[in-house]
Structure formats: C-alpha cells, structure tokens
Amino acid sequence: MTVGTACGKIILFGEHAVVYGRPALAVPLSQLRARAFVESRAEQGIVIHARDLKRDIPVNDSTVDDALATITRLTLNKLGVTGNLEITVESDIPVASGLGSGAAISSAIVRALAAHFHQSLAASEISALVYETEKMYHGTPSGIDNTVIAYEQAIRFVRGQPITAFQIARPFTLVIANTGIASPTKITVGDVRRGWEQDKARYETIFDDIAEIVARAQDALARGENLLLGELMTRNQRALESLDVSSREIENLIDAGMRAGASGGKLSGGGRGGNVIFYVADERAEEVRRAVVEAGAANVILTRLF
C-alpha cells in the first residue's frame, strides 16, 4: 500500500477579485490533511472508497462524472500506466468550507498513485492535474487551491503569472470559525460573474480596492507589522459584502469575534457559508474561540502562521 497526503489551505486576502486578475494571498493549513491509500486488487478495474462520503466510485465507468474518478484517470494517463487498483480516501478537512477539501483529496490521490508506480511528479505537474478537477467543483476556479496545496507554501497568486512565495516576518495567530453552512463556490463565483457582466465599472472598482488591500497586507506581513492585518481583513470583508457573497451567519460570527477582542475578521473562500477568519492577539485567541462557538460556529481552528 502507498500513501499520499495533502494539506488544506485558507485565503487570507483577495478572494473573488483574484478571478479577475487581481492578487490574492493564501497559506497552507498543514495540520489539516487529506490522505489517499493505493493498493493492488485481484478484481478487474479501479474503485475509489470515499470514506467520509460513504461512497464507492468506479473509475473505469466513463459515464461516472466524478472529480475523484477524473483525477485518477488524468493521473494514470500522465504517468502512462494502468492497473487494477483500490484507492481509499479520507480527510480531516471539512467539505465545502473554503479550506480546499476537493483540491487536497485530489492532490493526495495524485501523490499516492505516483508513489504506487514508483514515479515522482513536480509540484507544478500536480497543480496542473488538480486544476482540471477544480473546474468540476468551482466552474471558473481561480487556481489558488490547487497551487497552494500542491506547493504547500504561502503564496501570492495572480492568475496567469508565475507563482511567488510571500514572506511572513513575524508569526501570528489566526482563528478560523466554520459557519456549518456549505460554501457554494461555484454558485457565488457565477453570481459575481453575472454582476460583473451587468455593471463592469462598479465591480472593477471593487476588485481594484481589494487588490490595494492585498498589496498593503503583503507589505505588512513582510515588515512584521501584523497589527494592520485586522483592519485590512475588515476592509476586505466590506468589499466582499458589496459583492453580495457574505451572509447573516458570516456577519454574526464576525460580530461575535470582534466583540470578544479580535482585531479584524472576514469570510474566506466563496462566501455565503464556509469559514470566517480572525486576526487575533495571542492572549485573546481563546476568548474569541469561545465567543464564536457560542455564536453558533460549527467548529473552530486556532492556527499559528509563520
């Protein structure tokens, strides 16, 4: 049996605008991981056991329109191999919550298959393969999820430009609160697209504002001026609200976290569900965690970024 793993991810700044050529900052969540296990089987064909979904997916049935079957076919074609295989996948990463669950599971499958056939793939090759399945999940994906997960490093991402790592001069604590509501990225990206088509001037102005926030955040991180991050998160949230991708549940969690002492907060990912992130001073992290749980967060992660 061979094993492949991949991390989750979180977007700090820039979601939605990134689809329109603006930059975004994203970081890996190494403590949250997806895992894939590959072994040979006596029976003909390839089957995927998706433990968390309680599903068995036949890969050889071309009528099955499934992202996990697709990434398996793409990877085997890339490797130039075939076989009778049993693939089991599991993940710590909540589904449809803006943490890159789909890209992480796909990346884990790619790595496990490559290991099974004693081959290696570069991060760029893994990212390109996974991007093809991201289209199935998100319609018009930015490319952030597959990129940050394949490279497992903090990145500044601009669509169509070379990937660049960005510097975090001083560690900081992030509180990630899950609304418990699935984040319909494909739907929200599509809704923003329709709004942009109807009023390009207004939307382009909002995207420019978000790009300026991203630039200031990257500069603050590089200088170790982390106290600016809270203010910038709140500004980014206001811009996302003007794109109509927020929700009452998101804003309730943000209000609770801010009252408990967070310096700023915003949705992360597609919006209308999924996760809210907060920049917090270390001494306030536990208080903020308790407050958002009391306000209805389904689960909360405290993570240290450095």
For the stretch 154-174, pLDDT in tens is 999 998 898 899 999 999 999
Query: Is domain 168-305 annotated with CATH 3.40.50.300?
Result: no
What percent of the chain has a predicted confidence (pLDDT) above 70? 100
156's torsion region: left (phi>0), alpha (psi -120 to 50) or beta? beta
Which token pair is 238?
Answer: 């206001």
Its CATH architecture, for the domain 2-157, is: 2-Layer Sandwich (3.30)
Please give the mean pLDDT across all residues of the chain.
Answer: 94
Q: Supply the pTM of this predicted model.
A: 0.86
Q: What local confidence, expressed as pLDDT, does residue 13 receive?
A: 98
Q: What local confidence, expressed as pLDDT, does residue 64 receive?
A: 78
Q: What local confidence, expressed as pLDDT, does residue 55 receive?
A: 93
Q: Where do the structural domains in the chain lie, given as residue ranges?
A: 2-157, 168-305
Confidence of residue 45 (pLDDT cuts 50, 70, 90): very high
Q: What local confidence, expressed as pLDDT, does residue 97 receive?
A: 75
Condensed to tens digits (0 to 9), the pLDDT of residues 238-262 reads 999 999 999 999 999 999 999 999 9
Calculate the alpha carbon distances from 90 to 24, 76, 266 in Å. 28, 20, 29
Residue 94 pLDDT > 90? no
**Mean pLDDT computed over 70-98:** 93
Confidence of residue 141 (pLDDT cuts 50, 70, 90): confident
**Mean pLDDT computed over 174-193:** 91
Confidence of residue 98 (pLDDT cuts 50, 70, 90): confident
Cβ count within 10 A of residue 92: 16
Q: What local confidence, expressed as pLDDT, does residue 122 receive?
A: 97
Calculate the alpha carbon distances from 302 to 32, 55, 285 in Å. 12, 31, 8
